[in-house]
Amino acid sequence: MVSAFPSRWKIWKNTHRDVHSLPVSGPIVRIAPDEVHILDADFWETLFSKAGRVDKYNWMSNRFGNDTSVLTTAAHDLHRVRRNALNPYFSRQRILGLQDTIRQKLSVFVNQIQENANVGAPITISRGYMAFSEDVIMHYCFGYDYDSLRKSAWTPVLHDAFAAVCIAGNMALQFPTIPKVMNALPQAWVEKLDPLYALIFRMQNDFGRQIRQMKAALPPAKSDRGVDNTNPTVIAELLQSDLPNEQKADRRLQDEVQLIVGAGLSTTGWTLSVGTYYLLSNPRILACLCKELDDAIPTSTTANTADLISNLEWTELERLPYLTAVIKEAVRLSYSTTSRNVRLLPKPVQFKEWTVPARTPISMTVPFLNHDEDIFPQSRSFVPERWLDALKTKNGSSLDKYFVGFGKGTRSCLGSNLAWCELHLGFASLFRLFDFELYETDKTDVEIAHDFFLPFAKLDSKGIRVFVKERQ
């Protein structure tokens, strides 16, 4: 019974808590009157993959102000309706077809880097990564984007708004009326009272406006398969799909777009940044990657950057073992989500000598697993080799069993194919074409210092800054 668990619950002492102060004693801790947290790498499968029909924790649904998105839908059945409608747009086949858009955005990015290479001043490459992933996902959702890649110093249009959503999220979770009150106020007041919320509401209003405009411009839903291939954007297709009408309501779609664009932008951009930092601070690893890329992408094609990028094929790049191992290690050390991940199972579940009753919120946390030294020895170090040669863990299991970067089970990442494709094309082109050198950047610019659902480094970080030279 839950009441028999060690009674060590505590309400978060503040909403900007430092992750180092989280209670870490296990393997099972009752962290709130009704919730237990489990620290056991092998229980991950039981909770996320094998459980089948799982609900999320309703209490956590509205901290980002989009409680009807797939990520925040608590009930299993409703989640399936919403998720099934999105799955086709993010299948492997669809993402293979999206490569031209990704390559085109990558060309703009590479041209911008080349211009800076000739100037000799440092660039904030992490901003560039956010702009790249933002332009790709916006373009795929709406058929246009804010062209953030061409903005001076890649000043972001959306990245800061999504960072604001995350930062405000802990407060909104504990005090849900705050965002509601803010939302009811005139925008000008919000701008003065809390610039964070002003950014969030501006972004939400903008998405809402775009959805209404697309609805007005589109013909009514088709009666056959429901997909209009002449207009291949996620939102246009969703509007024409056979998703029930109430699921196509303006506000519902606004919630969904906020999630898809936010998830598509922040996570991929952060993983590229973390990977770049670790590559540049490990010359041996960087040399291994460059050697593999040099062999795979012959010199003749690098003479013309446009040719090099247009010849990049995800299906070929994913067969490069070292590049793929670098990406896995970058995903591991960028954690994807840092908050505890909660599930409610329909039946009682056994964990060691404890029986957890059905529908008890049970949570696990990605960074704890990613730093389990039995699974990932020297877990704080960037070691791509750990993913090579089908290595086994101490207990004889395949290491891939513990790769939880994109989640597991019914609630796993919708955009993992897109993320893999962007990561393969992004790392391959940049590290084939350029030599980078870190500028006033250290581990504190990538190490997790704050848990705002997504990992945040120290708040005064200036990002990953580099000098860049074209490779000979």
Q: By CB under 6 A, is residue 341 in contact with ligand HEM?
A: yes
Member of 41, 161, 413, 466 binding ligand HEM (CB under 6 A) = 413
| Total of chain residues touching ligand HEM, rule CB under 6 A | 26
Strands 354-356 and 349-351, by their bridges, are antiparallel
Among the residue ranges 100-108, 173-181, 310-318, 404-412, the one whose residues contact ligand HEM (CB under 6 A): 404-412
Answer for which of 169, 405, 426, 455 binds ligand HEM (CB under 6 A) is: 405
Q: Please select the residue that binds ligand HEM; options are 59, 406, 439, 467, rule is CB under 6 A.
A: 406
Among 88, 176, 226, 407, binds ligand HEM (CB under 6 A): 407
Tokens representing 378 are 């020297």
> Does 331 engage in binding with ligand HEM (CB under 6 A)?
yes
What residues contact residue 253 under an 8 Å CB cut-off, 6+ apart? Answer: 211, 235, 238, 239
Which residue from 99, 204, 258, 337 is in contact with ligand HEM, where contact means CB under 6 A? 337
How far the first Cα of the chain sits from its last, in Å, is 65
Residue 323: partners with Cβ closer than 8 Å, 6 or more residues away: 289, 292, 293, 317, 424, 427, 428
User: Dihedral sign, CA of 117, 118, 120, 123?
Assistant: negative
CA–CA separation, 55 and 71 (whole Å): 11
Q: Which is nearer to ligand HEM, 117 or 362 (CB)?
A: 362
Chain position carrying tokens 């599930």: 343
d(CA 468, CA 118): 8
288 marked as binding residue: no
Choose one: 116-124, 240-248, 255-263, 441-449; the region binding ligand HEM (CB under 6 A).
Answer: 255-263
Strand pairing of 35-38 and 28-32? antiparallel
Per CB under 6 A, does 324 bind ligand HEM? Answer: no
Give the shortest CB-324-to-ligand HEM separation in angstroms.
13
Whose Cβ is closer to ligand HEM: residue 132's or residue 197's? Answer: 132
345 is a site residue for ligand HEM (CB under 6 A): no
Say how far apart CA 421 and CA 398 lie, in whole Å.
24
Q: Taking CB positions, which residue lies at the least distance from ligand HEM?
A: 415
User: How far does Cα 177 stand from its chain's mean position?
Assistant: 27
Q: Does 170 bind ligand HEM (CB under 6 A)?
A: no
- Give the pair of three-digit tokens for residue 104: 């085109």
User: Is 332 a residue that touches ligand HEM (CB under 6 A)?
Assistant: no
* DSSP per-residue string spanning 246-315: GGG-HHHHHHHHHHHHHHHHHHHHHHHHHHHHHHHT-HHHHHHHHHHHHHHS-HHHHTSHHHHHHT--HH
Give the pairing type, strands 35-38 and 349-351: unpaired
Cβ closest to ligand HEM, residue 7 vs residue 412: 412
With respect to ligand HEM, which residue has the nearer C-beta, 268 or 441?
268
In angstroms, what is the minimal distance from the CB of 194 to ligand HEM?
26
The one segment of 27-35, 202-210, 333-341, 380-388 that binds ligand HEM by CB under 6 A: 333-341
**Short-list 382, 383, 370, 386, CA closest to 443:** 382
Q: What length is written for the chain?
A: 472
Applying CB under 6 A, the span of 119-127, 313-321, 382-390, 407-415 interacting with ligand HEM comes to 407-415
- Smallest gap from Cβ 398 to ligand HEM, in A, equals 19
Nearer of residues 116 and 365 to ligand HEM, judged by Cβ: 365
Is 259 a binder of ligand HEM (CB under 6 A)? yes
Least distance in angstroms from the C-beta of 318 to ligand HEM: 14
With CB under 6 A as the contact rule, which of the stretches 179-187, 198-206, 225-233, 414-422 interacts with ligand HEM?
Answer: 414-422
Who contacts 307 (Cβ-Cβ below 8 Å, separation ≥6)?
301
Q: Which two tokens stand for residue 52?
A: 């089948």
Look at residue 356 and give its three-state secondary structure.
strand
Among 51, 71, 95, 464, binds ligand HEM (CB under 6 A): 71
Alpha-carbon span 87 to 24, nearest angstrom: 36
Q: Which residues are annotated as a binding site for heme?
A: 413
State the residues that interact with ligand HEM by CB under 6 A: 70-71, 83, 90, 137, 259-260, 263-264, 267-268, 271, 331, 336-337, 341, 405-407, 411-415, 418-419
Q: Which residues are annotated as a binding site?
A: 413
